[in-house]
Amino acid sequence: MKKHGVLHAELSQQIAALGHKDTFMIGDAGMPIPKGVPIIDLAVTKGVPTFRQVMDAVLEEAEVEGYTLAEEIRTENPELQTYIEQKLTGKEENFLPHDELKRRSAQVKFAIRTGEFTPYPNVILRAGVVF
C-alpha cells in the first residue's frame, strides 16, 4: 500500500500517465465536464474536498509548466487566483472567458471534480517535464 502522496488509485494512475504537454483539469462541483472526458469525482459534499486541498495534492505529484484560468476569476474570486498564481509561480499563465474554458475542457486528458462551491475555481493544467 502507498504510504504518502495521492492515494486515490485512479487519480494516481492518471497523473502517472501524463506526458509532456498533456492537459488536465481541476474543477468545482458544478463544472460541466464534456462527454468522453474521464472524470475523477472526488466531491463528497459542499466544500469537501476543497479545490486547494486537491490542487496541493496534485502539485506534489505532477510537474506543471502552464495553466489556464477563466478571466472571471479576476473579479469573482481574486483570493483563489492569488493562491493559484503563488502555487504556480513562474509557470505560463493564460486567461480565457469562462465559456471558452468550458469548451477547452473537452480536450483535457482527464478532469478532477472537487467539492468546491466558490466562483470560478477551475483550472486547466499543462504537464511539464522533470529535468
What per-residue string of b and e applies to 48-72 under the rule 16 or more CB within 10 Å gives b? ebbbbebbebbeeebebebbbbbeb
Distance CA 18, CA 131 (A): 15
The H or E element that residue 124 is part of is strand 123-127
Q: Is 98 a catalytic residue?
A: no
**Catalytic member of 4, 8, 20, 98:** 20
Active site residues: 20
